[in-house]
Structure 1
Amino acid sequence: MDAVLKSLMERAKNEAEARTANRVGDRPSREDAEAAVRTLIAWAGDDPSREGLLDTPKRVVKAYEELFSGYRIPTESVLDRTFGEIGNFDDMVLVKDITFHSHCEHHMVPFVGKAHVAYFPVERVVGLSKIARVVDMFARRLQTQEHMTSQIISTIDEALKPRGVAVMVEAEHMCMAMRGIQKQGASTITTQFTGLFRDDPQEQIRFLSLVRGVSLR
C-alpha cells in the first residue's frame, strides 16, 4: 500500500511540474485549466471520468478561449485606423443595438444585452464595425456592466479625441435571473457621457431619442 501511495504521489508531483513548465509567464497551462474543470465537476457531485464528461474539460477550456478572448486583444489595435474623407460632416455618428454577451465577474454567469454608442467626430471617423469590436473586446472579459460601460467610452474618447461620446448599455443578468433573487426579465441600464453629450442636455436627449426611435418633433 505504501508503495502504491508513493507512486501516486510521485505521479502527481511530476504532472504538477509538467504543468508548471508549460505555463506562459504566470498564466496557468491548458492542462491546469482542464484539471480545474474536472475538480469542479467532482465538487458539483458528478464523476468526471464517466463517458459523457470525459471530454468536457477540453470543451470548457476551448469555449473559455472564445468567451474570454477580449483579454488577448490589444486595446490600441481596435481603433488604429480612421478615415478623413467625410466632407464637412460634423454631426452625431450613432451605432445602436450592438448585441453582446459577457460574464459577471462576481459569479461567472452570463449577462447579455445591447450597447448603443455615439460620438461627434473631429475631421475623421472610424469604421462602424470597429465600434462594435470595442464593445465585443470588453464584453469578452469578466465584467461588471458599469465597468464595461466606462471602458467602452474611455477607449473611444482617448483614441478618436471626438467632441463627445455617449454610451448606453442595457442587459439582463443571469446572476439575478438564475440564482439569488431569481427575477427573470429584469433589465439593467447604464449610461455615460463625455464632452458635448455631457455638457449639453439636449444632445443627451437626442441620443436617447434616436436609440429609442422616438421622434423629437
Structure 2
Amino acid sequence: MDNRLKLNPESKTTRLADHAEGAVTREEAEAAVRVLLRWSGENPEREGLRDTPARVARSYKELFAGYEKDAGRELQRTFTDVGGYSDLVLVKAIPLYSHCEHHLVPIIGWAHVAYRPNDRVFGLSKIARVIEIYARRLQTQETMTAQIARAIADYLNPQGVAVLIEAEHLCMSMCGIQKQGALTTTMALEGCFAGNAAEQARFMTFVRQN
C-alpha cells in the first residue's frame, strides 16, 4: 500500500495527538466558553446558560472528532473481487458539515466523489467516512476538497479521482456581507480526470442528473 497520505493531506491540519504536551482540559475549555459568554454581554451564571459551557465542550468533541481519526486507517480495506469493473464509481450528494477555520461557524453542503478503479474498490461507506474525517475539523473548503481527493488517490491507487463540493458558508450568510444561499463550489481532480475534458464532462453529467 502506498502510504504517501501521511505526507500530503494531513500536512495543513495537525492531529490533536501531536499536541499532547499542550492538551487542554475540559475545565479549561468550559472556562473559555464562560469568558466568551461574558464578552458577548451575557451572564454565564443565569439559569439558561449555567450548563452551556459543559454542553459546548461536549459538542466540540463531536464536531471536531476528525482530528482524532485517521483517514488511512479507514481506507485500508479494499475489495478486488469486482468482476473486472473499471468504469466510474460515483457517490453523490453526501451531506457535509464542517466549520470555517477563520470564523468557527458552520459550512453546510454536499460532496460528490467519483473514481475509476484499477483492480480494487472501496466499500461505499468508506467514501462517506473519509469525507466525515476531514469535514469534522476546522477547514477551508479548498483544503478539504484536496484532502479528500488525495486520500482516495493515495490509498486506492485508482485510474483517477474527482471530488466536487458545494457548500454554504454561514460566515458569509450570517455576518460580514450577509448573502444567504450563496454556494461555493470547489473541485479536485486526480489521474485520468486531470486535464481530460471528456472525463470531467462525464463526471459533471452524472453529478447533475437527478
1:44 corresponds, among 21, 40, 43, to 40
Residue type of the partner of 1:56?
A: T
Residue of structure 2 equivalent to 1:89: 85
Once the two structures are superposed, what CA deviation does each residue of 1:69-111 show, in whole Å capped at 9, x if it has no partner?
0000022111010011101111010010000111000000001
Task: Give the aligned length.
Answer: 192
Which is helix-richer, 1 or 2? 1
Residue type of the partner of 1:191?
A: M
Task: Report deviation, 1:199.
Answer: 3.3
Residue of structure 2 equivalent to 1:30: 26
Identity %: 55
* Distance in 2, Cα, partners of 1:88 & 1:31: 55
1:196 corresponds, among 192, 195, 199, to 192
Structure 1: tracts of 5 or more residues without a match:
1-22
Contact 2:70-2:133 within 8 A present in 1 as well: no
* Distance in 2, Cα, partners of 1:210 & 1:64: 36
Task: Report deviation, 1:51.
Answer: 1.3
**CA radius of gyration, larger in:** 1
* Distance in 2, Cα, partners of 1:158 & 1:184: 36
Residue of structure 2 equivalent to 1:79: 75
Residue of structure 1 equivalent to 2:5: none
* Distance in 2, Cα, partners of 1:50 & 1:183: 34
Residue type of the partner of 1:200?
A: N
Residue of structure 2 equivalent to 1:178: 174
* Distance in 2, Cα, partners of 1:66 & 1:152: 20
1:150 corresponds, among 146, 149, 158, to 146
Once the two structures are superposed, what CA deviation does each residue of 1:150-191 show, in whole Å capped at 9, x if it has no partner?
100011111101110000000001011000000001010001
Task: Report deviation, 1:24.
Answer: 4.7
* Distance in 1, Cα, partners of 2:20 & 2:157: 36
Structure 2: tracts of 5 or more residues without a match:
1-18
Residue type of the partner of 1:50?
A: R
* Distance in 2, Cα, partners of 1:208 & 1:118: 10
* Distance in 2, Cα, partners of 1:40 & 1:176: 21
RMSD over aligned Cα atoms: 1.2
1:160 aligns with 2:156: yes
Task: Report deviation, 1:25.
Answer: 2.5
Alignment of structure 1 residues 57-136 onto 2, 5 Å:
57-136=53-132
Whose relative contact order is higher, 1 or 2, with alpha carbons under 8 Å and at least 6 apart?
Answer: 2
- TM-score between the two structures when normalised by the length of structure 2: 0.89
